[in-house]
Structure 1
Amino acid sequence: MRRNLTLWGALGLSLAITAPTLAMGLNGALPAKLAGPAVPLVFLIGFVGVAAVMYGFVRLTRYFNHAGSVYALAGVTMGPRAGFFGGFALLGVYTALAISTLGSTAQFAKVFLADAGVHLDIPWPVIALATLAFATYLATMDTRNATRVLLAIESIGIVLMLVIVVVVFAKLAGGDAPRGQTFSSDVLVPSGVSFGAIMAATVYAFLSFAGIEGAAALGEETRDPRRNIPRSIIGAVLLTGVLYFVVMLAQTLGFGTDAAGVKAFGESGAPLADVAKSYVGSTVATAFSGAATVSSFAATLGCVTAASRILFALGRDGFGFAAWAREPRRGGTPIPALLTVAAVSVVATLAHAIAGTSPFDMYFYWATLGVIGLLVVYAVTSLGALRYLFTRGLAPRWEAVIPVVAVAYLAYVFYKQVWPVPDPPYNLFPYIVAAWLLAGVTMIVFRPELTRRIGEGFERAEGLLDNEPTAPSNT
């Protein structure tokens, strides 16, 4: 692959997969049902947890960069078997997130058309499949152009969000809120909300950060990756963490922290757009719905791009069909791997259309599956960082507490997805993820030649398996 991406290109992919505009447009509703007015606290805890988890990615990508992301990071730090397990899990995560964003794009598109007064009864699967087709086409183009588009799209959405936030805070401070809403300490010190409920809701904060490490999959396409990949991950975490807290604070206070406000927040199909209508006006609300639609499309593009890199890296080392390992010729994109991810997404979309699933539910179903898998992927990376960095003296010993806290946090959030048993069909999702992971373990056990080829692949890869890595310039 050609190294033609800058820091901003890598940052663009991380932001596209994370999709801040999409996340802030949808992801506050379910936490409001679980944690009431404590939604900002939920996202603050999620920010701290994700920052601890990203420590491993930041530290390890200063030494190793590979199209397989976790596939290589876990493989180098804990061996080829762990590498395949992590890569196989991450392939499932990015594919699930790609499918979920097709649902969110359709959801936002219908809201946008309604807000704009365009009364077209377009079936949501048509919107989803058109989104996938266009995203797949753009993903075949030069990676530099695609990442520039992604960064520009998210920048527009972020500006619109900040406009809404400023107006909401100004009206709250001036006593001009629609229902007399005011600032309240319940957003950080909630009364009547259990700690367990708050932690259970953090899975949706994790959903909002999902893919924040996406730049790691561009390790073979980015200039000076040992410097630019860690910087792009740090930048994406800090930008989204602060943005999410501020925007969720504005949404929670905008709806109101009383029972009526919390109920309205939890039942909203497009909460930030609804707040914009109440505080700013229908024009800005419509503009935000349009930006959220485009942001969701960008997330699809980012997810299929990242998933195709993971599949290409796995195929290059002997997994699956030989076509998946075909070297990119146009724009640095592995076309067969990309088309495979797109085909799986088509099948999933059609299955939901036949089953009568709404696009809102399709988004949360697949996003939840992706996040549960991501908890496992992040834990593998954190354990690898703990083992590798501190046995080789590559990081100060006191920093070992960070990956330990990360793993403990991930384990607790995973536990909260299993117990208390969630309502159907969410009660089945941990077992679906477990089945996918078990499939990966089965391949490791019954295909020892695959493990051998993976190890050989790491030995051939640039910058991997150095016996005495030296730290690059400070990030």
Structure 2
Amino acid sequence: MSAPANGKRTAAAPARLRRELKVTDAAAFSVGLIGPVGAMALLGVGAAGLLGEGATWAFVFAILGVSLVGYGFVKLSQHISHTGSVYALVGRTLGPRAGFVAGAALFTAYATIGTGSTIEIALFFNKVLGQLGLIGSGATEWIWTALVALVLVVVLSLSEIRVITRILLICELAGAALVGLLSVVIIVRVATGHGPHGQSFSWNFLHLPAGTGVGTIAGAAVFGFLAFAGFEGAASLGEETMNPKREIPRALKITILVVGVFFLLAIVGQALGYGTGPDGVKAFAAAEDPYGDLAAQYLGSAMGVLLNLVASVSLFAITLGTVNGAARVGYALIRDAGVPGPVVRLTKRGAPVGTIVVTSVLILCFAVGQRLAGTGVVDATFYWLTIGTIALLVAYAMATTGAFRFLFLSGKPKAPRWQAIVPVLAFAFIVYTIFKNVVGVSGPYRFFPYIILAVLVVATVVVVAVPGLADRVRERITDQGDGE
């Protein structure tokens, strides 16, 4: 630190994130956040519980909804690049206070989805250990496996971001190849009349049960929408990607397309694999291990073990991605608020170590608290994934509103006027999905909206009450990032 001519000392400029990633790295980060292999390990089951043999429609509508939401992210990322993702996108379009609240929602979403994924790792990895005879088949303890996975995530998170994105890509490619193989084998065997229970091909996987209304379809689409959670992750690499205003939008498009195709192949394979008759639908909706069940029937028990292992690895990738996504959003929020100290420190490799630790400690507390409450592993998984989904939907709604204002109401339109219908439809889709998640739900799920409401209220109070905070945020989200 040096003294300028006026005799006043100036603080050293804060360390910056390294700009070193390409479009493949950004897309890999989004895919890793989604974790398509791990996502389909249970979410297809949830959709089948509502739509029966027509579970595929949950993912068809989810792909449509995510494409509509993705429009706003793609367009905004062509103009704004910042490590805060939704925080910066909303802050630049709706104002710094709204941006701060949206950032808090996104951080909450990543941290809670990371918690659910950490717990789900234990679910599937313990199945692998049981299948190999290393633990009892009836073992129900999951916390130790989850904690070991979290420690490994923290260690890897301190690596260079390029290393992290490559790990995510390798994990998902390996898993997707095996799940894709299983799905193709199922479709071919069923189509040729060689299903293990005499199943033959039927288009009933596109048939909705009698009396199925729009509300039921929307409720099931929540599972498909949750499967896409994290698609916007590439936007949090706006300060670490070369030529971000070109590469981030490309990465988002690639992610939605590739993952959407994979989800359709996987859900069709699962629906046909169990069968579209009453017994098959019942088995599908009650399954706790769809990969293991179907692999054992169609490819042999060894493949069932392998698929549960790759599901565990994919879920590990989700946790790795969400921890790093939350850490970067949290880093941006704290840095731009002007908060000094170790929490905004970067390692020599460019990792935001302070917020990585904060995020990991939160996940640790959430998981341990759930275990002390005696919650089963499946319920614990869905509890935290649902909380994260609601928070993510709030962030999406704010980003979509910001995109509409920025593109069509702020000066000269930055997109053809007819495209204004896209963010409008996206917003309607998001709001209705939130409605289905907060109205008429029972059990612990009825309390989850209040958790998110509390986060939003606290964030609003902080950004309004702290003197000068909104001005500091406005200045930083304008000056930081936006590199070419």
TM-score, normalising length from structure 1? 0.94
Indicate if the aligned counterparts of 2:36 and 2:172 stay in contact, CA closer than 8 A. yes
Indicate if the aligned counterparts of 2:82 and 2:477 stay in contact, CA closer than 8 A. no
- Residue 194 of structure 1 and its aligned partner are, at CA, apart by 2.8
- Residue 19 of structure 1 and its aligned partner are, at CA, apart by 0.3
User: Equivalent of 1:404, from 397, 420, 424?
Assistant: 424
User: Equivalent of 1:364, from 372, 382, 397?
Assistant: 382
Match in the other structure for 1:100: 116
The one-letter code matched in structure 1 to 2:55 is V
- Residue 189 of structure 1 and its aligned partner are, at CA, apart by 3.2
1: distance between equivalents of 2:135 and 2:344? 45
Indicate if the aligned counterparts of 1:136 and 1:342 stay in contact, CA closer than 8 A. yes
1: distance between equivalents of 2:393 and 2:340? 28
- Residue 25 of structure 1 and its aligned partner are, at CA, apart by 1.2
Call closer, same or farther: CA 1:329–1:265 in 2, change over 3 Å. Answer: same
User: Equivalent of 1:253, from 272, 278, 286?
Assistant: 272
1: distance between equivalents of 2:453 and 2:140? 36
Secondary structure of 2:391's match? helix
Call closer, same or farther: CA 1:334–1:172 in 2, change over 3 Å. Answer: same
- Residue 303 of structure 1 and its aligned partner are, at CA, apart by 0.6
- Residue 191 of structure 1 and its aligned partner are, at CA, apart by 3.0
Identical-residue share of aligned pairs (%): 37
1: distance between equivalents of 2:44 and 2:220? 10
TM-score, normalising length from structure 2? 0.93
- Residue 172 of structure 1 and its aligned partner are, at CA, apart by 0.6
2: distance between equivalents of 1:405 and 1:106? 38
1: distance between equivalents of 2:358 and 2:82? 20
Indicate if the aligned counterparts of 2:117 and 2:318 stay in contact, CA closer than 8 A. yes
2: distance between equivalents of 1:368 and 1:320? 31
- Residue 405 of structure 1 and its aligned partner are, at CA, apart by 0.5
Greater Rg by CA: 2
Indicate if the aligned counterparts of 2:92 and 2:478 stay in contact, CA closer than 8 A. no
- Residue 320 of structure 1 and its aligned partner are, at CA, apart by 6.0
Indicate if the aligned counterparts of 1:26 and 1:272 stay in contact, CA closer than 8 A. no
Q: Does 1:174 pair with 2:206?
A: no
Match in the other structure for 2:92: 76
Q: Is 59-68 or 172-181 further displaced after alignment?
A: 172-181
2: distance between equivalents of 1:5 and 1:255? 42
2: distance between equivalents of 1:338 and 1:445? 26
Indicate if the aligned counterparts of 1:46 and 1:205 stay in contact, CA closer than 8 A. yes
1: distance between equivalents of 2:482 and 2:325? 20
- Residue 352 of structure 1 and its aligned partner are, at CA, apart by 1.2
Secondary structure of 2:316's match? helix
Match in the other structure for 1:469: none
Matches within 5 A, 1:280-319: 280-318=299-337
Match in the other structure for 1:467: none
- Residue 185 of structure 1 and its aligned partner are, at CA, apart by 3.1
Match in the other structure for 1:468: none
- Residue 270 of structure 1 and its aligned partner are, at CA, apart by 1.6
Indicate if the aligned counterparts of 1:311 and 1:324 stay in contact, CA closer than 8 A. no
Q: Does 1:144 pair with 2:171?
A: no
- Residue 229 of structure 1 and its aligned partner are, at CA, apart by 0.8
Match in the other structure for 1:86: 102
Once the two structures are superposed, what CA deviation does each residue of 1:121-153 show, in whole Å capped at 9, x if it has no partner?
Answer: 583111101111110110001111111111001
Q: Does 1:445 pair with 2:461?
A: no
Cα RMSD for the two superposed structures:
1.6
Match in the other structure for 1:336: 354
Indicate if the aligned counterparts of 2:194 and 2:200 stay in contact, CA closer than 8 A. no
Q: Structure 2, unaligned stretches of length 5 or more?
A: 1-16
User: Equivalent of 1:129, from 113, 129, 147?
Assistant: 147
Match in the other structure for 2:9: none
Secondary structure of 1:25's match? coil
Secondary structure of 2:350's match? coil
Match in the other structure for 1:159: 177
Matches within 5 A, 1:184-333: 184-192=202-210, 193-318=212-337, 322-326=341-345, 328-333=346-351
Once the two structures are superposed, what CA deviation does each residue of 1:275-333 show, in whole Å capped at 9, x if it has no partner?
Answer: 1111121111111111011111111111100100011000112276643323x232211
Match in the other structure for 2:445: 426
Q: Structure 1, unaligned stretches of length 5 or more?
A: 465-471
Once the two structures are superposed, what CA deviation does each residue of 1:384-421 show, in whole Å capped at 9, x if it has no partner?
Answer: 110001233211111111111000011111111123x1
Indicate if the aligned counterparts of 2:52 and 2:209 stay in contact, CA closer than 8 A. no
Q: Is 300-309 or 441-450 further displaced after alignment?
A: 441-450
Matches within 5 A, 1:101-116: 101-116=117-132
Q: Is 357-366 or 91-100 further displaced after alignment?
A: 357-366
Structure 1 outlier segments of 4+, above 4 Å: none
Secondary structure of 1:36's match? helix
Secondary structure of 1:135's match? helix
Indicate if the aligned counterparts of 1:40 and 1:188 stay in contact, CA closer than 8 A. yes
Q: Does 1:119 pair with 2:135?
A: yes
Q: Is 434-443 or 378-387 further displaced after alignment?
A: 434-443
2: distance between equivalents of 1:122 and 1:134? 22
The one-letter code matched in structure 2 to 1:335 is V
Indicate if the aligned counterparts of 1:141 and 1:330 stay in contact, CA closer than 8 A. no
2: distance between equivalents of 1:358 and 1:289? 19
Indicate if the aligned counterparts of 1:96 and 1:369 stay in contact, CA closer than 8 A. yes
Once the two structures are superposed, what CA deviation does each residue of 1:423-463 show, in whole Å capped at 9, x if it has no partner?
Answer: 31112212221121121122233224211110121232133
Match in the other structure for 1:59: 75
User: Equivalent of 1:383, from 396, 401, 424?
Assistant: 401
1: distance between equivalents of 2:438 and 2:353? 38
Secondary structure of 2:468's match? helix
1: distance between equivalents of 2:59 and 2:470? 39
The one-letter code matched in structure 1 to 2:68 is A
The one-letter code matched in structure 2 to 1:399 is Q
- Residue 50 of structure 1 and its aligned partner are, at CA, apart by 0.3
Indicate if the aligned counterparts of 2:464 and 2:470 stay in contact, CA closer than 8 A. no
Secondary structure of 2:20's match? coil
The one-letter code matched in structure 2 to 1:398 is W
The one-letter code matched in structure 2 to 1:44 is V
Secondary structure of 2:55's match? helix
Indicate if the aligned counterparts of 2:229 and 2:389 stay in contact, CA closer than 8 A. yes
- Residue 337 of structure 1 and its aligned partner are, at CA, apart by 0.7
2: distance between equivalents of 1:43 and 1:263? 19
Q: Is 166-175 or 410-419 further displaced after alignment?
A: 410-419
Secondary structure of 1:60's match? helix
